[in-house]
Amino acid sequence: MKRIDTPLADCFVLEPRVFVDERGYFFESFNQTVFEALLGKKIAFVQDNESLSQQGTLRGLHMQQSETAQAKLVRVIQGEILDVAVDLRKNSKTFGQYFSIILSGVNKKQLFIPRGFAHGFITLSDTAIFNYKCDNYYNKASEVGIIYNDATLAIDWQYDLDKIIISEKDKRNITLKGFVNG
C-alpha cells in the first residue's frame, strides 16, 4: 500500500498493490497494521457503511462535530465517483479548502478523510457502490452539512449540476459562512 499526500494536512490517498492475472485481480483493501503505520497513529474503525447510487447522485457535504466527529476511509467497489473532502478544522492552515479525486472500482484508490472534514461525492458512472469505514458511530444530533454549491468553496463537481439527484436534506445544508458563524 502506498500513501500519497494531498494538499490538505492529514488527508491522503492510498493506492494498493493490485495483482492481476488471467483469473482476475486480488488486492488487500485494508490491513490495520499497515494503515496505522501510514497514518502514524492508532485508529479503530467501528462502523462500515455502503451505498449504491445512480449517475448524477450527489451525497454531501456531511460531517459530524465534537466528540462524535468521524475519520473515514472511503473507496469505490464498482463504478466511478468524484470524491470531495473539505477541511473544516477552524485552526487548520487549509481551512475552507477542498481536495477532490476520482475513485473507482478500476483504480482501487482510497481516500483517508480525518476528523473535522466534510465529505461528499457525486456518481459519474451509471451506478456506483461506495464503501467507507468510520472511526466513530453515526450520531444524527451532531451532524452538519455544507451546501454542495457554496460559492466560497467553488467545488468543481465535474458534472452538470442542473442534472444532479440530491436529497431534500442535502438541499437544506448551510453555507461555509453559516458554518463559521454558527
Task: Report strand pairing: 58-64 vs 117-123.
Answer: antiparallel
Q: What is the rounded (10 degree) CA torsion for 158, 90, 150, 163?
A: 40
Asked whether the beta carbons of 66 and 138 are under 8 A apart, the reply is: no
From CA 26, how far away is CA 20, in angstroms rounded?
A: 7
Asked whether the beta carbons of 146 and 174 are under 8 A apart, the reply is: yes
Residue positions annotated with a catalytic role: 62, 132
